[in-house]
């Protein structure tokens, strides 16, 4: 009898961890770029080959059913940049989309460091292409003024960073809601907590905060999305004596699949209040189109193009990658790639990438500054693997 009891006890001990792990997932993705880059700026930089990762991550997901159709969930997604470059990881533990929340028939409510509702639509638009990397990215530098990842609201009286002006962002300290699917329609909304208020003198009246919402309708091979994002007191032009203001972005996107084609298009309208006490404003609009053509089996050809119109308004200061108001301040981005799917999880691609500035523009592919009106290019190999 004692042997039977002991056997049952051992079996129970071994089964308990298995039951617990049944609701835990571990996975991730790796992307490696090896390419030749021409920065088009001989006085400050030179051409060379670059080997680097692009947004690799390791995630841990866990969930628990609470009853009544409600589930508690958790995700920690961490960057793996160091697996190629070594040294300290640029983003750190749980610095990619990570959060804790509750989901049920009402939708999904969670507290997180997470892609904003605008970025969720922008990600649908770009698809396979990166938003900003130097080999297969750059479109979001035109459409949404570059990228800001895992950052809080800026302190508008301190030194500037990409977080002041970017509308393609992963927002830290945010409260999020993602709705269920209502006959193909869904919404997402988010706002950021005002953690930064403790570092800002009350007399300034500055209270930086982000608000965002999107709506997406998807039916069969077609989808269309609309997103709006508003930044209060972000000091986008990094001006001294900032007096406050509101900046906003409107993103519109649509996509359609037919045969072996997947075509997406997007539009971004970015508006900034400079807040230097003179009523200056800046507006930048851009459009992009992206296409994937699965020729046959593992063979796919991809192409992307985006164009930024001349900057409008009366601003005399730049905002992020956008030059001050004036003629010939736009730019064009284009990229083409051939991809071969080695398996369902592994893909090899060769790609060409280009950022071509108008005569008064200085947009880059993200590595080095470019001469005014210059054209930066990259050509190389992309390795992707999901695990």
Question: What span, in angstroms and rounded, lies between the C-alpha atoms of 59 and 114?
Answer: 13
Helix (H) or strand (E) holding 171: strand 168-178
User: For residue 83, what pLDDT is reported?
Assistant: 83
Q: Which residues pair with 238 in a beta bridge?
A: none
Check: CB of residue 316 under 8 Å from CB of residue 341.
no
User: For residue 175, what pLDDT is reported?
Assistant: 98
User: For residue 89, what pLDDT is reported?
Assistant: 54
Question: What span, in angstroms and rounded, lies between the C-alpha atoms of 177 and 180?
Answer: 10
CA angle 365, 149, 100 (to 5 degrees): 155
Question: What span, in angstroms and rounded, lies between the C-alpha atoms of 96 and 75?
Answer: 10
State the Rg of the chain over Cα: 23
Please give the model's pTM, rounded to 2 decimal places.
Answer: 0.92
Ranges of the chain with pLDDT below 50:
1-16, 18-22
User: For residue 88, what pLDDT is reported?
Assistant: 57
Nearest CA among 75, 111, 252, 78 for reference residue 191:
111
User: For residue 85, what pLDDT is reported?
Assistant: 78
Q: Which structural domains are found in the chain, ordered by start?
A: 113-171+200-386 (2.40.160.10)
DSSP assignment of 195-252 equals: GGGGGS-GGG----EEEEEEEEEEETTEEEEEEEEEEES--TT--TT----EEEEEEE
User: For residue 4, what pLDDT is reported?
Assistant: 45
Question: What span, in angstroms and rounded, lies between the C-alpha atoms of 227 and 212?
Answer: 7
Q: What is the pLDDT of residues 184-241, one digit of tens each?
A: 999 999 999 999 999 999 999 999 999 999 999 999 999 999 999 999 999 999 999 9
Check: CB of residue 113 under 8 Å from CB of residue 172.
yes
Distance of CA 322 to the CA centre of its chain: 18
């Amino acid at each position: 009898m004692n042997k039977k009891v002991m056997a049952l006890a051992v079996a129970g001990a071994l089964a308990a961890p298995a039951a617990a792990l049944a609701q835990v997932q571990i996975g991730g993705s790796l992307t490696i770029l090896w390419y030749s880059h021409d920065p088009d700026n001989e006085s400050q930089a030179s051409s060379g080959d670059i080997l680097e990762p692009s947004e690799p991550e390791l995630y841990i997901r866990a969930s628990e059913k609470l009853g009544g159709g409600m589930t508690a969930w958790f995700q920690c997604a961490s960057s793996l940049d160091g697996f190629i470059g070594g040294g300290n990881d640029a983003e750190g533990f749980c610095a990619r989309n990570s959060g804790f929340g509750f989901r049920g028939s009402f939708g999904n409510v969670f507290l997180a460091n997470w892609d904003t509702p605008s970025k969720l639509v922008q990600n649908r638009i770009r698809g396979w292409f990166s938003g900003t990397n130097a080999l297969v990215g750059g479109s979001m530098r035109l459409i949404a003024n570059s990228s800001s990842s895992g950052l809080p609201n800026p302190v508008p009286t301190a030194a500037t960073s990409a977080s002041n002006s970017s509308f393609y962002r992963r927002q830290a300290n945010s409260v999020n809601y993602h709705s269920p699917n209502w006959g193909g329609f869904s919404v997402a909304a988010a706002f950021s907590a005002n953690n930064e208020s403790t570092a800002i003198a009350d007399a300034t009246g500055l209270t930086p905060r982000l608000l965002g919402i999107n709506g997406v309708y998807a039916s069969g091979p077609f989808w269309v999305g609309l997103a709006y994002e508003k930044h209060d007191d972000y000091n986008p032009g990094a001006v001294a004596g900032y007096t406050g203001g509101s900046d906003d972005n409107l993103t519109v996107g649509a996509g359609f699949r037919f045969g072996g084609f997947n075509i997406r298009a997007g539009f971004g309208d970015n508006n900034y209040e400079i807040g230097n006490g003179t009523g200056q404003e800046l507006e930048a609009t851009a459009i992009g189109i992206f296409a994937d053509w699965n020729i046959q089996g593992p063979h796919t050809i991809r192409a992307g193009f985006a164009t930024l119109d001349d900057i409008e308004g009366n601003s005399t200061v730049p905002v992020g990658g956008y030059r001050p108001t004036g003629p010939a301040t736009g730019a064009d981005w284009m990229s083409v790639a051939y991809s071969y799917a080695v398996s369902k999880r592994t893909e090899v691609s060769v790609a060409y990438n280009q950022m071509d500035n108008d005569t008064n523009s200085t947009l880059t592919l993200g590595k080095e500054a470019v001469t005014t009106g210059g054209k930066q290019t990259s050509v190389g190999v992309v390795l992707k693997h999901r695990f």
